[in-house]
Structure 1
Amino acid sequence: MLWIPIDRSLDMPLIGQVYGQIRDRILKGELPSGEKLPSTRELSGELKVSRNVVLEAYDQLLAEGFLISRRGAGTFVAEGACLEQRRRVTEAMAPSVYDNLLRDEGLVNFRSGIPALDRFPRRIWAQLSSAVWNEASPAVLGYDTPEGRPELRHVLAQYLLKSRGVYCHPDQLVITSGATQALSLVSKLLLSPGDEVIMEDPITCDIQAMFQAQGATIRFVPVDEHGMQTALLPQESSPKFVFVTPSHQYPLGGALPIQRRIQLIQYARTHDCYLVEDDYDSEFRYEGPPVSSLQGLEPDRVLYIGSFSKILSPALRMGYLILPMPLVESCRRLKWYADLHKPSMDQLILARFMEGGYLERHIAKMKKLYKSRRDCLIDCLRSAFPGRVNIIGDSTGLHLVAEFPGRRFDEEAVRRIKRMGVKVYLVEEHANDKEAQRSRLILGYGHLPKEDIQEGIARLSRALLGM
Structure 2
Amino acid sequence: MHSGERLPSTRDLAASLRVSRNIVVEAYEQLLAEGYIEGRHGSGTFVSEGTYLEGLADEKFPSIDMRSDSSRYETELIDFRPGIPALNLFPRKLWGQLAEYTYINGPDAAFGYGKPEGCEELRSVLTRYLRRTRGVICEQEQLIITTGATQALSLIAKLMLADGSDAVIEDPITHEIQTMFSMPGTTLYPVPVDHQGMQTQLLPLDIQPSFVYVTPSHQYPLGGVLPIQRRVQLIQYARSTGCYIVEDDYDSEFRYESAPVSSLQGLDPDRVIYIGTFSKILSPALRMGYLILPQSLIARGRNLKRLTDLHTPSMEQLTLARFIDEGYLDRHIAKMRKIYRKRRDFLIATLMASFADRITIMGHSTGLHLVVEFTDVVFTPSLLDAIEQNGVKIYPVEVHAMNKGKQNHRIILGYGNLTEAEVAKGIQRLAAALSQAARTSSTA
Q: Does 1:100 align with 2:48?
A: no
Bigger CA drift: 50-59 or 415-424?
A: 50-59
Which amino acid counterpart does residue 415 of structure 1 have in structure 2?
D
Task: Please name the residue that 1:169 is paired with.
Answer: 139
Structure 1 match to 2:175: 205
Distance 1:122 1:291 in 2: 29
For 1:345-360, list aligned pairs within 5 A.
Answer: 345-360=315-330
Deviation at 1:291, TM superposition (A): 1.1
Q: Which amino acid in structure 2 is aligned with residue 376 of structure 1?
A: F
> Aligned pair in 2 of structure 1 residues 162, 190: CA closer, same or farther (>3 Å)?
same
1:403 and 2:376 correspond: no
1:74 equivalent in alignment to 2:44: yes
Q: 1:127 aligns with which of 97, 107, 114?
A: 97
Partner of 1:154: 124
Q: Verify the 8 A CA contact 2:161 2:183 in the aligned structure 1.
A: no
SS in 1 for 2:52: coil
Using the TM superposition, give the Cα deviation of residue 397 of structure 1 relative to its aligned residue in structure 2, in angstroms: 0.3
Q: Which residue in 1 is equivalent to 2:405?
A: 435
| Preserved contact between residue 389 and residue 405 of structure 1 (Cα < 8 Å) | yes
Residue pairs, 1:37-76, within 5 angstroms: 37-76=7-46
Distance 1:34 1:313, change over 3 A: same
Greater than 6 Å deviation, 4+ residue runs: 93-97
Identity %: 57
Match of residue 461 from structure 1: 431
Length-normalised TM-score, structure 1:
0.90
* 1:36 alignment partner in structure 2: 6
Q: 1:126 to 1:291 in 2, by over 3 A?
A: same
User: Residue type of the partner of 2:265?
Assistant: Q
Distance 1:269 1:100 in 2: 47
The one-letter amino acid paired with 1:62 is L
Contact 2:174 2:221 in 1 (8 A): yes
Alignment of 1:235-274 (within 5 A): 235-274=205-244
> Does the C-alpha gap of structure 1 residues 94 and 332 become closer, same or farther in structure 2, counting only changes over 3 Å?
farther
CA distance in 2, matches of 1:402, 1:108: 17
User: Secondary structure of 1:143's partner?
Assistant: coil
Cα pair 2:214 2:246 within 8 Å, conserved: yes
The answer for the alignment partner of 2:196 in structure 1 is 226
What is the CA-CA distance between 1:208 and the residue it aligns to? 0.6
CA contact (8 A) 2:358 2:376 kept: no
1:335 aligns with 2:335: no
Structure-2 separation of matches of 1:105 and 1:169: 48
Number of aligned positions between the proteins: 436
Aligned to 1:3: none
Q: CA deviation at 1:92?
A: 4.5
In 2: Cα distance, 1:357 partner to 1:452 partner: 32
Q: 2 CA distance for matches of 1:258 and 1:318?
A: 29
Residue type matched to 2:330 in 1? E
Structure 1 gap ranges (5+): 1-30
**What is aligned with 1:21?**
none
Structure 1 residue 432, shift from structure 2 partner: 1.2
Structure 1 position 134, deviation (Å): 2.3
2:162–2:183 Cα contact (<8 Å) kept: no
Which sits farther off after the overlay, 203-212 or 138-147? 138-147
Cα RMSD, aligned residues only? 2.0
Q: Residues 137 and 446 of structure 1: is their aligned pair in 2 closer, same or farther, counting only changes over 3 Å?
A: same
Aligned to 1:363: 333
The answer on 1:417 being equivalent to 2:417 is no
Which deviates more from structure 2 when the two are superposed, residues 85-94 or residues 258-267? 85-94
Structure 2: give runs of 5+ residues left out of the alignment.
438-444
Distance 2:90 2:332 in 1: 9
Indicate the residue corresponding to 2:163 in structure 1: 193
- One-letter amino acid of the structure 1 residue matched with residue 423 of structure 2: I
> Is residue 110 from structure 1 mapped to residue 80 from structure 2 by the alignment?
yes
Q: Is the Cα contact below 8 Å between 1:187 and 1:214 reproduced in 2? A: no
- By relative contact order (CA 8 Å, sep 6+), the higher-ranking structure is 2
